[in-house]
Amino acid sequence: MQLYKSQPLKVYNSLNGQKEVFESISEGYVGMYVCGPTVYSNVHLGNCRTFMSFDMIFRYLKHLGYKVRYVRNITDAGHLENDADEGEDKIAKKARLERIEPMEVVQRYTVDFHTILQKFNFLPPSIEPTATGHIIEQIEIIKDIIEKGFAYEINGSVYFNVPKFNDSHNYGKLSGRKLEDMISNTRELTAQDEKKSPQDFALWKKAEPQHIMRWPSPWGDGFPGWHLECTAMSTKYLGKTFDIHGGGMDLKFPHHECEIAQAEASNGTSPVKYWMHANMLTMNGKKMAKSTGNNILPEEIFTGENNILSKAFSPTVVRFFMMQAHYTSILDLSNDALLASEKGYTKLMDAINAIEALNTSNTSTFDVSAWRQKCYDAMNDDFNSPTLIAHLFEAVKQINALKEGKASITESDKTLLQETLNAFVFDVLGLENKNTSATDSDKLPDVVSLLIQLRKEARDNKDFATSDKIRDQLAALGIQLKDGKDGTTFSVS
């Protein structure tokens, strides 16, 4: 019997704001679509958190025995600046600034995206379609929406008629917004505006002469609206109605709201059974943003080449850190949080590595079966990874007691304990067993910190010869010191 039959799962459905028992449309099969990246820059750490949440969800659904078709798209055209219907295409703008072809931009940052996700130990999706690979499908959907009276063409662009759609449907049901309130809070259209209503959104935009990325259509050369690609690709590969649609909380409106409207207008049915949204990642209590400097790339965390963290952290430690918060909660990244996660990760791996050598007995002082069910109960409660991790550390405590001879375990319970830990730690949470216990390289931060302190004392005593000697000899070993207002940090080249 498949595990999903004995382990009922509940998920939080953003559509109604409630936890619901998960029942897939086709028994034993799950169709899941997640909005992927717009590949015009290095993948943002906050995006990594969203994709990691759905990687964990994908892993757990597979663990329960579902056959999952996971579709995660690549946006390589149509995403305009500020997520609006005006402005320059983000990829085309990058290409113009760097004087390269748009597809060179796409290739560079798609490779970066895949490289970072591989380091984080993501499972690849079942299908990873691109917007430019589905222009024909998008044009066909637009033609269908026009034919059904929910869109109009003007000057070579096509817009979705939101007020007309709302007369017979509920635009705003995902985000909880009412069209009347949106209208009252929106500026009046000017003579230059093409839309009939400010709430209308582009399905197809006419390409101006300077626009690099353009395709022929019944309405002239242009490019698809950003929202349309996800409707085209999700319904093509998962059907008119599928189980799960995921993405970041910031996509709920307008992106996902527009997806619902497009699909209902075209197919006459609600496209998704369970809408799921992951929350944002902050850093040191503030929103991550390049403009403020409160930002760090994944690779900068892995190498330690940054002015924010005290040392480098491995991808699996960062993944463990992210798994310690529920996917719907805001998670704050900080040096202290990563140091604590590294310490916890090491304890977890040390315990797992110690299981094989544990002595067995005729009795068990640890109810492994009951503990195992608590792990499932946590994950069945809307993929509650922090509660699962708390239960994993209950097992760590028991393993340490067994090592010290303060507890006992039978051979069968030892096997069940090992199998359960491996399943949840490696298969579900996606961690890797990279032992961070006391090796020479792991002692390096402590040694360098000691030398930094000695250098500081030398400088305070105006012994600049000793201070410079410590700095220069560390540099000769490939260890660069960086003096800043918050103290001295180091990086290893």
- Residue 438's CB is within 10 A of a number of other CB atoms, namely 8
DSSP letters of 328-391? TS-EEE-HHHHHHHHHHHHHHHHHHHHGGG----SS-SS-HHHHHHHHHHHHHBT--HHHHHHH
Q: How far is Cα 106 from Cα 77, in angstroms, rounded to an integer? A: 9
Q: What is the pLDDT of residue 436?
A: 46
Q: How far is Cα 95 from Cα 418, in angstroms, rounded to an integer? A: 51
Is there a contact between 43 and 37 (Cβ–Cβ < 8 Å)? yes
| Helix, strand, coil percentages for the chain (3-state, nearest 5) | 50, 15, 35
Cis omega (within 30 of 0) for bond into 254: yes
Rounded to a whole number, what is the distance in angstroms from the first to the last CA of the chain?
52
CA distances (Å), 176 to each of 18, 246, 253, 254, in order? Answer: 13, 17, 10, 11
Q: What is the pLDDT of residue 485?
A: 67
CA distances (Å), 25 to each of 6, 30, 424, 469, in order? Answer: 18, 8, 26, 69
Q: Cite the beta strand spans of 95-241 per DSSP E.
A: 151-154, 157-160, 201-206, 222-224
Domains of the chain: 3-278 (3.40.50.620), 282-428 (1.10.730.10), 440-492 (no CATH)
Q: What is the pLDDT of residue 480?
A: 83
Is there a contact between 71 and 126 (Cβ–Cβ < 8 Å)? yes
Q: How far is Cα 223 from Cα 214, in angstroms, rounded to an integer? A: 5
In one letter, which amino acid is 34? V
Burial class (CB in 10 A: 0-12, 13-18, 19+), 169: middle
Q: How far is Cα 402 from Cα 409, in angstroms, rounded to an integer? A: 8
Is there a contact between 36 and 75 (Cβ–Cβ < 8 Å)? yes
- In degrees rounded to 5, what are phi and psi of residue 245? -125, 125
- Tens-digit pLDDT string for the chain (493 aa): 799 999 999 999 999 999 999 999 999 999 999 999 999 999 999 999 999 999 999 999 999 999 999 999 999 987 877 666 777 889 988 998 999 999 999 999 999 999 999 999 999 999 999 999 999 999 999 999 999 999 999 999 999 999 999 999 999 999 999 998 888 777 666 545 789 999 999 999 999 888 888 999 999 999 999 999 999 999 999 999 999 999 999 999 999 999 999 999 999 999 999 999 999 999 999 988 777 888 999 999 999 999 999 999 999 999 999 999 999 999 999 999 999 999 999 999 999 999 999 999 999 999 999 999 999 999 999 999 999 999 999 999 999 999 999 999 999 999 999 999 999 999 999 999 986 443 445 567 778 888 888 888 888 888 888 888 888 888 877 788 888 766 787 877 6
Is there a contact between 309 and 335 (Cβ–Cβ < 8 Å)? yes
Q: What is the pLDDT of residue 478?
A: 77
How many CA atoms lie within 13 Å of 346's alpha carbon, on the beta-carbon side?
13
Structure tokens at 80: 């305009």
Structure tokens at 375: 């792990």
Q: How far is Cα 257 from Cα 84, in angstroms, rounded to an integer? A: 14
Q: How far is Cα 403 from Cα 393, in angstroms, rounded to an integer? A: 15
